[in-house]
Amino acid sequence: MSNVKAAISVLWCLFAVVSGSYYFVLTNDVQNLEKELAQINRDIEKDIRDIHILEADWSELNNPERLKTLAAQYISLDFIKPEQIINYSALPLDGEVIGPSSMFAKNSKDLRRLVSSER
Amino acid sequence: MVGFGLSKKNRGVTYVPGQEIYISSGRFGWEPEDAAVSVCHKRILLVVATFLLIYAVIIWKIFNVCLVDGIQLHREGQSYYRPKKGITFPVHRANIVDRNGVIVATNLPTVNLFANPHKVTNPKEVAEKLAMIFTDTSFEDFLIRLTRNAKFVYLHRNVTPQQQAMVNALGYPELEFLPSEVRVYPQKELLSHVLGNTDVDNEGIAGLEKSLNDRLNSSTKDLRLTIDLGVQYAVRDELIQAKEKFMAERATAIVMNINTSEIIALSSVPDYDLNKRDFKDKDIKFNFATLGVYEAGSVFKVFNTAMGLDSGKIKITDSFDATKPLKMGRHKITDFRVPAKWLTVGETLIHSSNIASAQLALKVGKKIQIQFFKNIGLFDKIENLEIYERGRPLHQSEKRWQDDTVATCAFGYGISATPMHIITAFSSILNGGLYTPPTLVQEAHNRKTRRVISHQTSMDMRKLLRDVVIYGSAKKANIDGYEIAGKTGTANKLDENGRYIKGKNITSFVSAFPITNPQYALMVIIDSPKPLKETYGFVTSGWNAVPTGANIIKRIAPQLGVKPNFDVDTQRENILKNLNKKEEKS
């Protein structure tokens, strides 16, 4: 009987040691993972901060005054004039020659309908 | 171990500690026959118990370190390895962005340099070295701060990373850094009057920064404005040119969505770079668009005519006698370059006749006029407009509102309002008759729309104001394709004491386009323009505010997606013209 008791005690001790060890290892793993998570979060925060600063920088770089100066310096673009804006329906059809002699638009009911519907 | 004080038979035998307890009796315990043995037993037990206690403490400590402390630190967040459940946004004040998401105001993380003067052993040396790093602060300034009898002094705010590295390289442990934020305006002066500014503690002190301070501090979600930065730039650019050209004291413009009353652009020059935080010149800080209460002159004829037609007391075919000045008590109402004849309602607007407008208003009467002005918001501060600087219109009290007031208000004298009041009221006249309070912020939801005139009156007004641009004082705004309608106004400028300044005018032009389906309203005000050779010495609105307005519309209409209304033939002619130009250039 005493042997059985001793065996049970030994088993309990063994169980306590094993479960304690497992708990210890598990806790350790969790702590390591938390450290890793904290580091990742800090990295993300740093990236967000960098992006935030870069967004402000991008906004400053896109200042219309600056873009206008650069456009004048490097490309020959000017402000859009009203006469440069053309309706799709006013574009010549395939093979059609537009010019002062061409009265296509006046004779084309479809084109006129399209133009009026655009308005 | 040699057993001490054991029985004779057990002497000379070596035992492990504690074994002797069982030797004397063969069971747990000992025989008290020998006092020395008993003492020895007790001591051994004491030692064993002490060791057990020490082991228990060590085990308990290990347990604490491994498990309990970890949880504790996690809760208190004191460890460097504190697990973070979420991500903290780097700044605490929300960005302000334009309607397309371009940042116009943002906080950037920075550091402030501070010190405890009591800990600084050699203030002169420290001040000298700091003055070399921070060139905008003098040696004397640093020295004063470092010798102050205080435990905390700011030495320099918003230190750059390079400066921070240089300070650290000095090796003074008494110089420390405090994380902070600085408000930055990447668009500089472009939205100065709209945004306002913040103080060193990032609290709003003017403009939207002040009026929406709680909103900006309570959430990091972007505050989206109704302003379009591209349009804002075009408007400001044209205003600067106009101000220089006409040698004016100030130029102001507002672009508004005529149907929603969203403000697309609001600019008043001169303005200032928000990042410099230089508030010495109060004049440049003055936001004329929302705070400048002034007598607008003939643009009020738009409201007068709309009021008359909507009241039913005036028909569009009615005529008024403008052959002679109108006597009002001791005063006479006269016209400027208006044909002396009977004028229809349309001609009254085209020629901008004060005499005919006054007659129209007198026919409608005081009661209707006051009620109408109230309806279109000319008696109160602009409702719900988010900006802090809002002017209150000036007008006679209702008791003193006599016939002379009725007559003068018809052509914009005797009542003062801000450009924001006027363009909002103007929009309600042309958008079908609905008044919506203006807004600068897209998240504004507490605006209530109300009807102020009938749809038919609004349609009539569109035709009448289109005629003003085609035949009247605003001819210079008759841009092919954009079908602009509007009204000019030239009024004498008042000084601070309410007296008219001789030779100084404020000219206005209020317009809408395209009038066949109005989408946007524009108001331009030029303060004290000078006569030029090309204006033939005139300083009236048609020579300065109108061409400025036309230039603005030419630039912003394509940006706003307003298509010019040309028929197919004209468009095809334009294609050829453009192709020819291209060929000539190449």
Q: Where are the domains of chain A?
A: 2-77, 86-119
Q: Which residues of B touch A100 (CB under 8 A)?
A: 573, 576
Comparing A104 with B220, the larger pLDDT belongs to B220
> Which pLDDT belongs to residue B336?
81
Q: Give the HSE-up count for residue A103: Cα atoms under 13 Å, Cβ half-sphere.
A: 2
- Average pLDDT on A63-83 reads 87
Distance CA B140, CA B131 (A): 9
Per-residue model confidence (pLDDT) at position B9: 55
Among the listed ranges B34-48, B239-253, B291-305, B412-426, which one has the minimum average pLDDT value?
Answer: B34-48
What pLDDT sits at residue B331? 81
Judged by CB atoms closer than 8 Å, whether chains meet at A112 and B568 is answered as yes
All residues at 6 or more sequence positions from B167 whose CB lies less than 8 Å from its CB, including other chains:
B113, B130, B133, B159, B175, B177
- What is chain A's mean pLDDT, rounded? 81
Give the pLDDT of residue A101.
42
pLDDT value at residue A21:
94
Contact between chains at A87 and B230 (C-beta distance less than 8 A): no
Between A106 and A13, the higher pLDDT residue: A13
Mean predicted lDDT score pLDDT of chain B: 88
CA distance B87 to chain A (A): 6
Write the pLDDT tens digit of every residue in B358-388. 999 999 999 999 999 999 999 999 888 999 9
| Residue B337 structure tokens | 């370059």
B89 CB neighbours in chain A (<8 A) are 48
CB B359 within 8 A of CB B326: yes
Interface contact flag, B87 A49, Cβ < 8 Å: no
The predicted-structure confidence for B272-287, as pLDDT tens digits, reads as follows: 999 987 777 777 888 9
pLDDT per residue as tens digits for the range B514-567: 999 999 999 999 999 998 888 888 888 899 999 999 999 999 999 999 988 888
pLDDT reading at B140 higher than 70: yes
Contacts of B554 in chain A (CB under 8 A): 79, 81-82
pLDDT value at residue B59:
92
Give chain B positions within 8 Å (CB) of A35. Answer: 81, 83
| Minimum distance, in Å, between the CA of residue B558 and any CA atom of chain A | 7
Of B266 and B220, which is predicted with more confidence?
B266
- The chain B residue lying nearest A92, using CA atoms, is B572
Which residues in A lie closer than 8 A to residue B186 (C-beta atoms)? Answer: 56-57, 59-60, 63
* Predicted pLDDT of residue B445: 74
DSSP string, B183-237: EE-TTTTTTHHHH-EE-TTS-EEEHHHHHTHHHHHH--S-EEBS--HHHHHHHHH
Most confident of B51-55, B135-139, B440-444: B51-55
Token pair, residue A99, equals 């010019």
Residues B563, B544 contacting (CB under 8 angstroms): no
Domains by residue range for chain B, with CATH: 1-87 (no CATH), 96-224 (3.90.1310.10), 233-569 (3.40.710.10)
Q: Inform me whether the C-beta atom of residue B188 falls under 8 Å from chain A C-beta atoms.
A: yes
User: What pLDDT does residue A89 have?
Assistant: 78
Residue A15 banded pLDDT, cuts 50, 70, 90: very high
pLDDT at position A76? 78
DSSP element (H, E) containing B328: strand B326-328
pLDDT tens for each residue of B234-253: 999 999 999 999 999 999 99
- Cross-chain residue pair B576–A100, CB shorter than 8 Å: yes
Q: Is the pLDDT of residue B81 over 50?
A: no
- The identity of residue B453, as a single letter, is I
How large is the average pLDDT for residues B156-171?
92
> Which residue, B101, B107, B98, B94, is CA-closest to B213?
B94
The pLDDT, as a whole number, for residue B276 is: 86
Q: How far is A10 from chain B (nearest CA, A)?
A: 20
For B17-75, what is each residue's pLDDT tens digit?
Answer: 666 555 555 555 555 567 888 888 899 999 999 999 999 999 998 888 777 766 666 66
Tell me which residue in A62, A65, A85 faces B563 most closely, judged by beta carbons: A85
State phi, psi for B158 to the nearest 5 degrees: 55, 60
Give residue B577's pLDDT: 80
Whether B73 has its CB under 8 Å from any CB of chain A: the answer is: no
Residue A101 neighbours by CB distance under 10 Å: 6
pLDDT 10s digits, B462-483? 999 999 999 998 999 998 889 9
Report yes or no: B101 at the A interface, CB cutoff 8 Å: no
Residue B498 falls in which region: left (phi positive, over 0), alpha (psi -120 to 50) or beta:
left
Give the type of residue at B401.
W
What residues of B are in contact with residue A105 (Cβ under 8 Å)? 568-569, 572
Q: Do B87 and A41 touch (CB under 8 A)?
A: yes
Mean pLDDT for A31-41 is: 91
Residue B294 has pLDDT above 50, yes or no: yes
